[in-house]
Chain A
Amino acid sequence: AQSVTQLDSQVPVFEEAPVELRCNYSSSVSVYLFWYVQYPNQGLQLLLKYLSGSTLVKGINGFEAEFNKSQTSFHLRKPSVHISDTAEYFCAVRNQAGTALIFGKGTTLSVSS
């Protein structure tokens, strides 16, 4: 069965510092991977997705992620964070049937000045 593990439940960083949010997945088939952001009391907004092609994926708000098949990872990075990046971040993999997303438990990114 497919699964997603987000290795850090909370990541505190200072403004303008770089950040990496870690995600590992397990899947026996081709993977479609996603990162979503959720601001308080809101739905999920797609940051970026990997479907195929280049392993380095660029998304919105300056985020990028790298698909690493050998390490089964899809870590999210941003070179310089802002206060407004404070939110919950979810990594997800599409299930084998292609009918649903399987989410990790989320990482809370807290950016302070």
Chain B
Amino acid sequence: DTGVSQDPRHKITKRGQNVTFRCDPISEHNRLYWYRQTLGQGPEFLTYFQNEAQLEKSRLLSDRFSAERPKGSFSTLEIQRTEQGDSAMYLCASGDRRQYFGPGTRLTVT
């Protein structure tokens, strides 16, 4: 069990650019989740995968956001045409009755 890993840990981008984050879950976990955490707030659910199927999306996930999990292994979260309001920590988690969280990717949009 090597834990959930996320890459990159930090990303600074200019407004309007596209960014992509990667999450590698714990290998035997079928369920994978993405959350967003802004300063001073708790994490907010974005989306959920069961294997390769994206089964639930939050209304927070605007059409500029897209997530994939090809082959049910790693997942990517892409944000197109980034805005300053997208600045946040993006957390990935995997697991069933218990969710194991990765260290997060901190995005800063300038």
Query: For the complex, is B25 an interface residue (Cβ under 8 Å from A)?
Result: no
Complex CA distance for A44 and B100, rounded to whole angstroms: 8
Query: For the complex, is A99 an interface residue (Cβ under 8 Å from B)?
Result: yes
A90 touching B42 by the CB < 8 A rule?
A: yes
The residues in B between 27 and 66 inclusive whose CB is less than 8 angstroms from any CB of A are: 33, 35, 40-45, 48, 55-56, 58
Ordered by A's residue number, 29 sampled pairs between the chains whose C-beta atoms are within 8 Å are: A32-B97, A36-B101, A42-B103, A42-B104, A43-B4, A43-B101, A43-B102, A43-B104, A44-B101, A46-B98, A46-B100, A49-B97, A49-B98, A90-B42, A92-B42, A95-B45, A97-B56, A99-B33, A99-B48, A100-B33, A100-B45, A100-B58, A101-B35, A101-B45, A101-B99, A103-B43, A105-B41, A106-B40, A106-B42
Query: For the complex, is B26 an interface residue (Cβ under 8 Å from A)?
Result: no
A99 touching B42 by the CB < 8 A rule?
A: no
Question: Which of A46, A100, A103 lies in contact with B56, CB distance below 8 A?
Answer: A100
Complex CA distance for A100 and B48, rounded to whole angstroms: 7
Q: Which residue of B lies closest to A92 (CB)?
A: B42
Which A residues form the contact surface with B (CB < 8 A)?
A: 4, 32, 34, 36, 41-46, 49, 51, 90, 92, 95, 97, 99-106
Q: Which residue of A lies closest to B55 (CB)?
A: A99
Query: For the complex, is B67 an interface residue (Cβ under 8 Å from A)?
Result: no
Q: Which residue of A lies closest to B50 (CB)?
A: A99
Query: For the complex, is B79 an interface residue (Cβ under 8 Å from A)?
Result: no
The residues in B between 73 and 99 inclusive whose CB is less than 8 angstroms from any CB of A are: 91, 93, 97-99
Point out the residues of chain A lying under 8 angstroms from B48, CB to CB. 99-100
Least distance between A42 CB and chain B CB atoms (Å): 6
Complex CA distance for A46 and B98, rounded to whole angstroms: 9
Least distance between A32 CB and chain B CB atoms (Å): 7
Least distance between B99 CB and chain A CB atoms (Å): 6
